[in-house]
Amino acid sequence: MKYRTFRIGGVHPAEQKLAKDAAIEQFPIPAKVAISMAQHLGAPATPVVEKGDKVKVGQVIGTPTGFVSGFVHSSVSGTVTAVEPRADLAGNMVMHVCIDVEGDEYADGIVTSDRIERDIKGSPEILLEKIKKAGVVGMGGATFPTHIKLAPPKDKKAEYLIINAAECEPYVTADDRLMREHPHEIVLGARIMARVLGVEMVVIAVEENKPEAFDALSDATLRYVGIDVVKMKKKYPQGGEKQLIDAITHRRVPSGGLPIETGCVVQNVATSYAVYQAVQKDKPLIERVMTVTGECLPEQKNYLVRIGTPISAILDSVGGLPMESAKVISGGPMMGKAVANLEATTQKGSSCLLVLTPEQTARTPETVCIRCGRCTQACPMGLEPWLMNRLGRNGDYAALEENKIYDCIECGCCQSTCPAHIPLLDIVRTSKAEVMKIIRSRAKK
């Protein structure tokens, strides 16, 4: 069988899916949680509770601030002890609602049974409103509010809904386990989103290294027409939105453009599960599956974790940070970010905690670029990382914009192939942030 894949660039890192055989376990509810108001792309939510308030599981504690924003719910029942800025995973000070846990009492209307609800009731507008009110965001890492992606502008027509089940980042297995253990819910979530978008073609794209997930989803789709489960070649970044669209439809998202310009909407497989919960169970996004992994850990885990659980409590459950650990990453090794604060708490986008050793994080000293072109060959966006490295170091932002640095998806393929060990991703990422600032301030004027 010929598997589908994107046509430009890409790399083949060792997959290291150490936790793939670890079934999802419910992580114990912690004694205290701190829930960030900035768990989605866009403006942070505005807290609507105060110190001393009693809250239940699933109760709204933050409301959207502006168009690109989202609802935030309490993941526990208990008493609000503080509404204050705290350091998040990256060390940024953001507003959190802190809650001391008492019992586990759900807000009225939330269904907690595991029974599969197949009958999708309601107009597209009602379904969309439920998804919005449940605070569902893209759970593959981008955390873009899902209800916005499901409501494209009137002049753009969605033809395809692509469910991103690639999980191409090494080490991460949260989506794989979710697909193996909850395929029916994922397929129903996809059908709900298809109804909201008015599309007739749904494609669930699974990487070839997840045969059990592929079989489980194929079985779950047997009773429906218009949903295909397809196998993708194992190649990074297969799960990139633009790469998936290219692989499935052979359409290219224009430079600086949005996926909807190709008639495609891409949603992550965990988002699909959250949409099912939101619509069929009236259950907001209060927990997620998260992989805890690393060669230096005694156990590999896939936990269902309440949002707002301290990272330190999760690491304690696998014996604490081993002596030989050097770095904790939130996400995978390619696109994840170093955890700056172990007292920070999990968020809607927290797919993985990866613990690395000094050998795994050691950087080989950088030498000069030998113009081998490997970074250009590896770049899935058709960019020239070696050139952006030179322009970035010189602070030539006008030239960087001309060379379309804004198209960089920060995948790290360039850096992983460079024989001169140049930290291309770091330089491209910081230069891109500067160029985006310039573009935004020009747009404001």
Judged by CB under 6 A, which of 220, 315, 425, 435 binds ligand SF4? 425
Nearer to ligand SF4, 212 or 410 (CB): 410
- Distance from chain centroid for Cα 203: 19
The CB-of-138 to ligand SF4 minimum distance in angstroms stands at 19
Nearer to ligand SF4, 90 or 372 (CB): 372
Nearer to ligand SF4, 268 or 389 (CB): 389
Q: Does 434 participate in binding ligand SF4 (rule CB under 6 A)?
A: no
Nearer to ligand SF4, 6 or 160 (CB): 6
Q: Does 121 participate in binding ligand SF4 (rule CB under 6 A)?
A: no
Q: Does 6 participate in binding ligand SF4 (rule CB under 6 A)?
A: no
Nearer to ligand SF4, 54 or 337 (CB): 337
Site string for ligand SF4, 371-400 (x = CB under 6 A): xxxxx--xx-x-x-xx--x-----------
Nearer to ligand SF4, 110 or 427 (CB): 427
The CB-of-240 to ligand SF4 minimum distance in angstroms stands at 9
Nearer to ligand SF4, 17 or 374 (CB): 374
- Give the Cα separation of 77 and 29 in Å (integer): 10
Q: Does 335 participate in binding ligand SF4 (rule CB under 6 A)?
A: no
SS3 string, the chain, reads CCCECCCCCCECCCCCCCCCCCCEEECCCCCEEEEECCCCCCCCCEECCCCCCEECECCEEEECCCCCCCCEECCCCEEEEEEEEEECCCCCEEEEEEEEECCCCECCCCCCCCCCCCCCCCCHHHHHHHHHHCCCECCCCCCCEHHHHCCCCCCCCCCEEEEEECCCCCCCCHHHHHHHHCHHHHHHHHHHHHHHHCCCEEEEEEECCCHHHHHHHHHHHCCCCCEEEEEECCCECCCCHHHHHHHHHCCCCCCCCCHHHHCEEEEEHHHHHHHHHHHHCCCCCCEEEEEEECCCCCCCEEEEEECCCEHHHHHHHCCCCCCCCCEEEECCCCCCEECCCCCCECCCCCCEEEEECHHHHCCCCCCCCCCCCHHHHHCCCCCCHHHHHHHHHCCCHHHHHHCCHHHCCCCCHHHHHCCCCCCHHHHHHHHHHHHHHHHHHHHHC
Which two tokens mark 305?
């974790």
Contact 385, 431 (CB under 8 A): no
Nearer to ligand SF4, 61 or 422 (CB): 422
Interacting residues of 343 by C-beta distance below 8 A, sequence separation 6+: 87, 310, 311, 312
The CB-of-13 to ligand SF4 minimum distance in angstroms stands at 13
Q: Does 412 participate in binding ligand SF4 (rule CB under 6 A)?
A: yes
Judged by CB under 6 A, which of 129, 212, 410, 434 binds ligand SF4? 410
The CB-of-424 to ligand SF4 minimum distance in angstroms stands at 6
Q: Of 126-134, 152-160, 342-350, 402-410, which segment contacts ligand SF4 by CB under 6 A? A: 402-410
Q: Does 60 participate in binding ligand SF4 (rule CB under 6 A)?
A: no
Q: Of 21-29, 137-145, 165-173, 423-431, which segment contacts ligand SF4 by CB under 6 A? A: 423-431
The CB-of-58 to ligand SF4 minimum distance in angstroms stands at 38
Nearer to ligand SF4, 11 or 290 (CB): 11
Judged by CB under 6 A, which of 83, 264, 400, 422 binds ligand SF4? 422
The CB-of-382 to ligand SF4 minimum distance in angstroms stands at 8
Buried b (16+ CB within 10 A) or exposed e, 204-238: bbbbbbbebbbebbbebbeeeeebebbbbbbbbbb
Judged by CB under 6 A, which of 136, 206, 328, 413 binds ligand SF4? 413
Nearer to ligand SF4, 35 or 420 (CB): 420
Judged by CB under 6 A, which of 188, 202, 414, 427 binds ligand SF4? 414
Q: Does 419 participate in binding ligand SF4 (rule CB under 6 A)?
A: yes
> Binding residues for ligand SF4, how many (CB under 6 A)?
29
N-terminal to C-terminal alpha carbon distance within the chain: 53
Judged by CB under 6 A, which of 216, 269, 411, 427 binds ligand SF4? 411
Interacting residue ranges for ligand SF4, rule: CB under 6 A: 369-375, 378-379, 381, 383, 385-386, 389, 408-414, 417-420, 422, 424-425, 428
